[in-house]
Amino acid sequence: MQLVVGRIGRPHGIRGEVTVDVRTDDPEARFAPGTSLRTDPASAGPLRIEGVRRHAGFLLVRFVGVGDRNAAESLRGTLLVVESADAPPLPDPDEFYDHQLIGLAVVTVAGEPVGEVTDVLHHGQDLLVVRRTGGEVYVPFVRALVPEVDVEGGRLVIDPPPGLIDPDEAV
């Protein structure tokens, strides 16, 4: 599975630098000079990083072989990706990559099936999007509501308060 670590934005200057919308927690490692990144679309890459610098809150990247503004402009919108297998293990056993959670079966602490995790949203509070027969529900990804995550076993256990999974059960 491919993980997006950045998206190429507009060119900066006339020598081929581009802005990059960073989508990784470790930009220093992912965008180190000499690093080669796959692209989506694949026809745009792979791209090898020649140089990186910060400027006015932006990450500016220069890729090998991209020497002018026109070449940089042709990369606008390209996603920079890595394989999930290349992602380093997380140091905290209670942290997970989104791709590890998506696809997990969701059951209650009583063992009742709820649905499947289809997405993880990061909007101040991490939310698991769980697909059910009747639609989607959002489960805050906190230990009080999600006491167990078994990635190897392919399941996630939730302890939902009344009304979270079935609005008709609201207190």
Which residue, among 113, 86, 96, has the nearest Cα to 150 in the 3D structure?
96
User: Cα–Cα distances in Å, from 146 out to 114, 126, 142, 168?
Assistant: 13, 12, 6, 21
If one compares 94 and 147, the residue with the highest pLDDT of the two is 147
Do 16 and 79 have their domain in common? yes
Do 7 and 74 have their domain in common? yes
pLDDT of residue 58: 86
If one compares 52 and 100, the residue with the highest pLDDT of the two is 52
Do 70 and 103 have their domain in common? no
- Domain membership flag for residue 93: no
Do 63 and 109 have their domain in common? no
- Domain membership flag for residue 91: no
- Domain membership flag for residue 153: yes
pLDDT of residue 82: 85
Number of domains in the chain: 2
Do 121 and 77 have their domain in common? no
Of 86, 119, 149, the residue that ends a domain is: 86
Tokens of 62: 């220069």
Report the pLDDT averaged over residues 49-60. Answer: 91
pLDDT in tens, 74-91: 999 999 998 866 666 777
User: Cα–Cα distances in Å, from 167 out to 16, 26, 157, 170, 171?
Assistant: 54, 39, 19, 5, 9
Examine the pLDDT at 169 and tell me if it is beyond 80: no
Q: Is 99 left (phi over 0), alpha (psi -120 to 50) or beta?
A: alpha
Q: pTM for the full model?
A: 0.63
Mapping DSSP to helix (H, G, I), strand (E, B) and coil, where does residue 105 land? Answer: strand
Report the pLDDT averaged over residues 146-156. Answer: 94
Of 60, 86, 112, the residue that ends a domain is: 86
- Domain membership flag for residue 92: no
Do 114 and 76 have their domain in common? no
If one compares 150 and 169, the residue with the highest pLDDT of the two is 150
Alpha carbons within 13 angstroms on the beta-carbon side of residue 159 total 9
Residue numbers of the domain that contains 130: 98-169
Examine the pLDDT at 4 and tell me if it is beyond 90: no
pLDDT in tens, 100-126: 899 999 999 999 999 999 998 877 788
Do 108 and 148 have their domain in common? yes
Examine the pLDDT at 167 and tell me if it is beyond 80: no
- Domain membership flag for residue 80: yes
Mapping DSSP to helix (H, G, I), strand (E, B) and coil, where does residue 90 land? Answer: coil
Do 123 and 82 have their domain in common? no
CATH number at residue 59: 2.40.30.60
Do 136 and 70 have their domain in common? no
Of 86, 112, 133, the residue that ends a domain is: 86
